[in-house]
Structure 1
Amino acid sequence: MPRTRALALTAATLAVGATLYGIGGASAGNSVPRSDQQIPNLTNVVTEIKAYYGDTVDAAGEHDASPQSSYAQQVAGIESKAKDYLKDTLRHEGHGNGHGSGYGNGHGAKPAIVLDVDDTTLLTYNYELEVGFNYTPATNDTYIRTKNMAPVFGMPDLVNWASDHGITVFFLTGRPEAQRDPSTANLAVAGYKPAADAAHFFLKNKTSPPAYLPCGATCTTVEYKAGTRKHIESLGYDIVANFGDQYSDLEGGYGDKTFKLPNPMYFLP
């Protein structure tokens, strides 16, 4: 991933306590509590997160989310709306409002969707529990290279359906380029059929950033992701839908519609 973020558990606490602070997801962490009564108890927050995901533990001590959980039900509702939208888009070509990309308006742009990886297509839940919500690049890299993450419930079906109906699928992640091979393998194992090859899977490359990103190795998440989506559209695609679990996955334009997946575990600016 690597991610620049506050401690995951602190971010999760802020997410749960946002109504107390009067802040939104995009500005989490900006308010200073005046009393301990304004701060959700960390133990209670973890308990609530586990209940939301329907935590189960197998014989090896691995944590799984339940397909009957509130999380799974919420995701299913979002996916249903996304599929209805994609069906409607395919029926009424040319009714999108992309950034001049021309899908269906005589310019030959091809429909595409863009998806983040962590907690949009692959679920980090077990990793977060394994490290006690204390993300570090080292532990995350070890996990990605030695274990597979489960798919986000229902997302393989949605993505495969889109691909089968002529929509090109692109994956766009903040994971480093060095994690390309295990990430590609994990997507395949998780059931995603569209090829996550070099032309359709974008990872962050700080050593040799692509020329289409003016910010180079210093890109913020929004600059990196929006700039990459702009590049995708420059190749002749109209991004009809952009999927992410963070607002920073979705901001910056270059996508006709955005779909926000739930993630109470961490916040990425």
Structure 2
Amino acid sequence: MSWLQVVALGLLQGLTEFIPVSSTGHLALFPALIGQESPSLFFDVAVHLGTLVAAIVFYAKDVGRALKGLGRMVKGLLSGEGRRVFREDQWARLAGLLAIAILPTVAIALALDDFTESMVTMPMLAASCMLITGTMLIVTDRIERRREAGVGSQQSDSTLGQAAGIGIGQGIAILPGISRSGACIITGILLGLEREFAVRFAFLLMIPTVLGAACYQAIDVVREGIDPAALTDALAAAAVAMVSGLAAIWITVKVVQRRWLWVFGVYCLVIGIFSLVFLSVRG
């Protein structure tokens, strides 16, 4: 793999992991469109870990407070005061919401585990799912625009049901072309979350999700073995993914604040249509 390809794939992962246009969709389509084989599992895990670091750095204060809140939540559950802690401690509440959101995601991921690897190498599926992502982003943008600014559930009053719904949305995003961040943001807004909190929750939820997926995939990486020659490429791409991921988080937050979610939707539709036409013509 050339250095240009390494940088391009790292940049692609970093930007599309947080900008709601589907990182898996782009990583499935990009090699197919330029006639290159899909990157190895180790490379894929490495660039995802790069974006994981970006999210932790960007939301460092929130992560620290949520971890402390998790400790208080566990202590409350053990002492029989879990409900009170969840109700009165907003950071324990956030930790609980994230924990609940993870459960349906894990269930869906395990149910589709046998098909995951094959789906990533199906560019036509990725292109089709990009159309779904684009359509849902535009529809959600139209619905959200009808609300008054600041209206919606915040960290202090979001419910376990909303968290579970977002977790289901994230689980569906195992399909290449369905944006993980987009699915979480869309589901959150449609379930009544205030738009800026929906974005923050989506990116915080990404941290345990990617960490868990990386640990799970590490077993297969060890089985396959790591090519020393590919190690430098993977680490370089991960570094690029981290830096571009930080920029992507900032961009997405600003775009959502300005209610421009539809822009990402239009992009997904254009890429999806172009890819379907190109792949069909090329055969």
**Structure 2 length as normaliser, TM-score?**
0.26
More helix by share: 2
More strand by share: 1
**Structure 1 length as normaliser, TM-score?**
0.27
